[in-house]
Amino acid sequence: MKITSSVVLLSFASLACAQDSRQSRKPLVDSNSLRRTIKSSNLLKHARKFVEFSKLSNGTRVFGSAGHTATTDYLKRVLDATGYYDTELQTFPYLFSTGTASLSANGTTFTTGYLSYAPSGDVTAPLVVVNDLGCNASDYPAAVAGSIALVLRGVCPFGEKVARAGAAGAVGAIVYNNLDGSVPGGTLGEISRPEIGPYVPAGTLSGIDGTALVALINGGTEVVGDFHVEAINEERLSSNVFATTKLGDHDNVIVAGGHSDSVVAGPGINDDGSGTMGILEVALQLPKWRVNNAVRFAFWTAEEFGLIGSEYYISHLPEEERQKIALYLNFDMIASPNTAFFIYSGVNEPAGSIHIHETFEEHYVGKIRTALTPFGTGSDYRPFLDVGIPSGGLFTGAGGIMTEEQAGWWNAQAGVAYDVCYHQACDGIANLNVSAWELNTRGAAHTIATYARSLDGIPRPRVSVPARNLKLADLSYEERLHQACSHEVSVI
Ligand SMILES: *[C@@H]1O[C@H](CO)[C@@H](O)[C@H](O)[C@H]1NC(C)=O
Ligand SMILES: *[C@@H]1O[C@H](CO)[C@@H](O)[C@H](O)[C@H]1NC(C)=O
Ligand SMILES: *[C@@H]1O[C@H](CO)[C@@H](O)[C@H](O)[C@H]1NC(C)=O
Ligand SMILES: *[C@@H]1O[C@H](CO)[C@@H](O)[C@H](O)[C@H]1NC(C)=O
């Protein structure tokens, strides 16, 4: 047994050696060769897979869903099959919440929003108006007990109002807007507020509907509501996926990332299927060459819940390991249908970031005009910038509106969103500008190949940054949501 196993070990070892030397005899990667291998036909093959994955969970690849797990399994499997990378799953739990709310009262069904973290429930009870803004226990009349509390939005968090309603014995709580319209993306903010009271089934109404109901009730009519909340609140496990070249200098690593999850509402083929599949395809072509500097492809989970995966990675990485990351490249939405060709501006960012945006620009010369756009807080570059890692990336626009001037540059439609299907069920294959996707994936290939050859222009070693400088680290769940992908999320 012993002899046999050591013989086996020996032959594995020599096989590994032979493979390593074969790898290192490959030609050094160069931009033109790598760019030429990027074909839209291959990108679309991945896209058809991603659509299939979303069907495993009713049209979504939201983190922790079957569609998302199928996505991360696929990424790891096809990258493992190259033999060129060391791959790794970084798995951790995070709280997921989604739901719907509906209210029928006075013979009408009202348009009602769900408040994240509110429990499910099915109640029929009188609607009782809460005094003032419902921020004090004394605002809740005795009649709230056994009733549905109707509370005006403002001053204190939704979560506090709903918990106070619970403490007063309400069986449901509805917060109506202090503006005419509905409340986009409301959340109770904290998972529970035991110090105030229990959460009860909760939702939101528009200001117009809420004030009309209040006037009716205050006029002396008894209004009984049928209030129905259907919610899922649970911890879900999901993973970041990493694939790092075995070859190249591991003290000087280039990280290229995109997020593997979608929103609940749709399959996320542009957001961020396009960036994920773009760098996946670069990763599948790169093994034809060797690299001087190691390249790590990173597929972040739960970006749509507030950059959770990238923040988790950076905040769990010791400073010594962070120092080995020479630069970060982000690819989130690179095939929007009403296409902008934005490159993140390195001006006012960590030293080396301008060099990165100039490297991206080289790819587009003679092809299409590009425009610099400032980094914000809306994607996975944020934790890297926050610890001083020079960064760059491509972006074709989200829910924002294409200006007249931009429409002239890009032969696109002024006054229309860059991506009309942003965060919606229609973010499928038909939502992609496939030629822009190929062009931008070649832009990714150019920048990755350039830095995989040489880090000239990128300061190494980097000036040390404070051990904890993460702007997102201390934010609560709802604040993170607010930061991510320009979600409209409100706590108050
Ligand atoms: C599936 O998605 C559709 C819309 O895309 C929605 O109406 C339906 O309620 C969802 N079903 C489940 C079980 O989530
Ligand atoms: C009600 O609550 C608000 C906000 O917490 C507080 O500022 C105010 O003083 C309270 N009013 C009363 C009458 O208790
Ligand atoms: C209540 O119902 C009456 C009769 O249908 C209607 O005229 C009134 O507008 C309704 N009020 C509200 C707030 O729904
Ligand atoms: C799609 O991308 C191409 C570049 O590959 C661009 O020329 C074209 O204007 C884009 N289409 C739209 C509708 O924006």
> 435 alpha carbon to ligand 4 midpoint, in Å?
7
Residue 76's H or E segment, with its range, is helix 66-80
Residue type, 445: A
Please report the pLDDT score of residue 475 as a whole number. 56
Best residue for ligand 3 mutational test, from 103, 108, 213 (most atoms within 8 Å of Cβ)? 108
Atom 3, ligand 1: which residue's CA is nearest? 58
User: Of the listed 281, 303, 304, 438, which one is catalytic?
Assistant: 303
Is the pLDDT assigned to residue 367 strictly greater than 70? yes
Number of C-beta neighbours around residue 135 at 10 A? 16
If one compares 154 and 11, the residue with the highest pLDDT of the two is: 154
Q: Count Cβ atoms within 10 A of the Cβ of residue 218 and give its class: 0-12 exposed, 13-18 middle, 19 or more buried.
A: exposed
pLDDT (0 to 100) of residue 421: 97
CB of 377 within 8 A of CB of 459?
no
Domains identified in the chain and CATH numbers: 28-84+246-483 (3.40.630.10), 97-233 (3.50.30.30)
Q: Decide which of 307 and 149 is more confident.
A: 149
Residue 24 confidence (pLDDT): 76
Confidence at residue 281, expressed as pLDDT on a 0 to 100 scale? 99
Cross-strand pairs, 392: 329
- The answer for residues whose C-beta is within 8 angstroms of residue 410's C-beta and 6 or more apart is 339, 340, 341, 368, 369, 402
Predicted pLDDT of residue 95:
86
From 131, 136, 151, give the residue whose CB has the most ligand 2 atoms within 8 Å, as the site to mutate.
136
Position 294 scores a pLDDT of 98
CB atoms within 10 A of CB 18: 10
pLDDT in tens, 327-343: 999 999 999 999 999 99
CA of 106 to the centre of ligand 3 (A): 6
pLDDT of residue 451: 98
Whole-angstrom Cα distance, residue 287 to residue 290?
Answer: 7
Q: 7: pLDDT confidence band, cut at 50, 70 and 90?
A: very low
Does residue 425's CB lie within 6 angstroms of at least one atom of ligand 1? Answer: yes
CB-based burial, 257-281: b 16+ in 10 Å, e otherwise: bbbbbbbbbbbbbbbbbbbbbbbbb
pLDDT digits (tens, 9 = 90+) for 202-241: 999 999 999 999 999 999 999 999 999 999 999 999 999 9
What would the mean pLDDT of 364-390 be, rounded to a whole number?
95
Q: What percent of the chain has pLDDT over 70?
A: 91
Distance 412 CA to ligand 4 centre (A): 7
Q: How far apart are CA 412 and CA 429, in angstroms?
A: 19
∠ Cα 449 285 388 (to 5°): 40
pLDDT for residue 434 is more than 50: yes
Q: Is the pLDDT of residue 487 over 50?
A: no
User: Once rounded to an integer, what is the mean pLDDT over residues 43-72?
Assistant: 97
Residue type, 191: I
d(CA 366, CA 19): 40
Q: Ligand 4 pocket test: pick from 364, 411, 413, 419 the residue with the most ligand atoms within 8 Å of its Cβ.
A: 411
Q: Is the CB of 402 under 6 A from ligand 4?
A: no
Return the minimum-mean-pLDDT range out of 30-39, 78-87, 302-311, 469-478.
Answer: 469-478
pLDDT at 6 over 50: no
- Whether 482 shows a pLDDT value over 70: the answer reads no
Peptide bond into 119 cis (omega under 30): no
Residues within 6 Å of ligand 2 by CB: 135-136, 155-156
Ligand nearest to the CA of 428: 1
Distance from C-alpha of 486 to C-alpha of 162, rounded to nearest angstrom: 26
- 447 Cα: distance to centroid of ligand 4 (angstroms): 21
- Mean pLDDT value across the chain: 92
Whether the pLDDT of residue 8 is over 70: the answer is no
Closest ligand to Cα 110: 3
For residue 110, give the ligand 3 atom closest to its CA: 14
User: What pLDDT is recorded for position 477?
Assistant: 52
Answer whether residue 12 shows pLDDT above 70: no
Say if ligand 1 is within 6 A of residue 58 CB: yes
Residue 59 Cα to ligand 1 middle (Å): 8
Name the residue with the closest Cα to ligand 2, atom 4. Answer: 135
Task: Note the pLDDT of residue 146.
Answer: 98
Residue 408 dihedral angles phi and psi, to the nearest 5°: -65, -45
Assess whether pLDDT exceeds 50 at residue 5.
no
pLDDT of residue 489: 59
Q: Which-ligand-closest: CA of 368?
A: 4
Give pLDDT tens digits for 145-187: 999 999 999 999 999 999 999 999 999 999 999 999 998 778 8
- pLDDT tens digit sequence for 463-474: 877 655 565 555
Give the model's pLDDT for residue 476: 53
- Nearest CA, atom 14, ligand 1: 58
**Higher model confidence: residue 276 or residue 482?**
276
Of the listed ranges 120-134, 185-199, 371-385, the one predicted with least confidence: 185-199
| pLDDT at residue number 22 | 72
| SS3 category, 252 | strand
Q: 191: alpha, beta or left, given left = phi > 0 and alpha = psi -120 to 50?
A: alpha
Task: Kindly list the distances between the CA atom of residue 324 and the CA atoms of 353, 451, 460, 462, 463, in Å, as whole numbers in the listed order.
Answer: 16, 14, 9, 9, 12
List the beta strands (DSSP E) in 58-194.
85-105, 108-110, 113-114, 121-129, 148-152, 172-176
User: Can 281 be counted among the known catalytic residues?
Assistant: no
Lowest mean pLDDT among 142-156, 421-435, 439-453, 464-478: 464-478
For the entire predicted model, the pTM comes to: 0.81
Ligand nearest to the CA of 55: 1
Residue owning tokens 């109506």: 176
Confidence (pLDDT) at 481: 54
